[in-house]
Amino acid sequence: MWGTPCPAVRSIRPYRSSEEYLYAMKEDLAEWLKELYDLDIEVGTFVEMLETGSVLCSHANNITHMAGEFSRACPGAARHLHLPAAGVACNLAAQPGTFQARDNVSNFIQWCRKEMDIKGKVPDVLMFETEDLVLRKNEKNFVLCLLELARRAARFGMRAPTLVQMEQEIEEELRQELDLPLTDTLLPRPPRKPRDLHNLDQMVLEGRCTCPVQFPMIKISEGKYRVGDSDTLIFVRILREHVMVRVGGGWDTLEHYLDKHDPCRCTSLCESLCPQTCGWSPLPPVTWGSRAPPSPRPPSPEGSSHPLGASPRREKPQRVPSSR
């Protein structure tokens, strides 16, 4: 029976996996913005390049411009989409941490809410606040907002990050499997580089444990696996050196996904982390025997010279002399 992870596992491991997941997304978004606007940006300078809000506001105005072109080229499809109609004011000379930078970021957030209708059922998941970026209080929500904005802009022709392109491929695969009708709300997509699915299968196998009884992970088709004892299907893709798993409406790393669902990895993780972090150690095994424990000896009668629990000493019988 699998034990419940101690508090150290619940607090330490998700943070580490979240860092890995965010790093993969920031790396993808940085490369995407670099190609779109010829920026000198990479994953290490991702936040520094965007914290003044100048690039964000320029990006918003570019999306509005492309939406207008899409509306004129495809009026029928445009009627089914929420297209931005207005741009956003921007101070291109804003410096990091200044009120001008906060104004830029605030204008971008309001534009996302009003013109792109990015709210979501749970606003905290898809949107961020000004201080989240300017003071770097919550990079995760900022990154998720940029990714959601890219998804929506891709519907009317904006070039999408690799993660969004992989989502589109998976949706197309599901559409063909379920024989769903084509949608007319998308412009032709630029072709992606061929996927190295053979390398993907090798990387998936490397992520599994070496126990005699392994967590089931059965390949159904290229990039699709059935995991666990249920009929759960997951889509796996390679994002540079990261192996990503499509989970619900988002992404996770394969390592973190297996840490959460493979009982062997969960138990090994708990046993390796807990003794060093919270002093926890597994209880020794209990050996069940068929013999009952000995019952305590009854106390000796009153007036007896024997101590409590001690056995009276047995006297040797005296020899009776012979009558001869």
pLDDT band at 249 (very low <50, low <70, confident <90, very high): confident
Beta bridge partners of 250: 247
Name the residue among 61, 131, 128 with its Cα closest to residue 90.
Answer: 61
DSSP state of 135: S
pLDDT at residue 189, rounded to an integer: 55
Which residues face 226 on adjacent strands?
218, 233
Token pair belonging to 308: 């409590």
Is the whole-model pTM more than 0.85? no
b/e code 4-24 from CB counts within 10 Å (16+ = b): ebbebbeeebeeebeeebbeb
What is d(CA 152, CA 116) in angstroms, rounded to the nearest whole number?
8
Render pLDDT for 95-132 as a digit per residue (tens, 0 to 9). Answer: 999 999 999 999 999 999 999 988 754 445 688 999 99
Domains and CATH numbers, the chain: 18-159 (1.10.418.10)
DSSP string, 190-214: PPPPPP-HHHHHHHHHHTS---SSP
39 conformational bin, left if phi > 0, alpha if psi -120 to 50, beta if neither = beta
pLDDT in tens, 251-304: 888 888 887 877 776 655 444 444 443 333 333 433 334 444 455 555 555 444
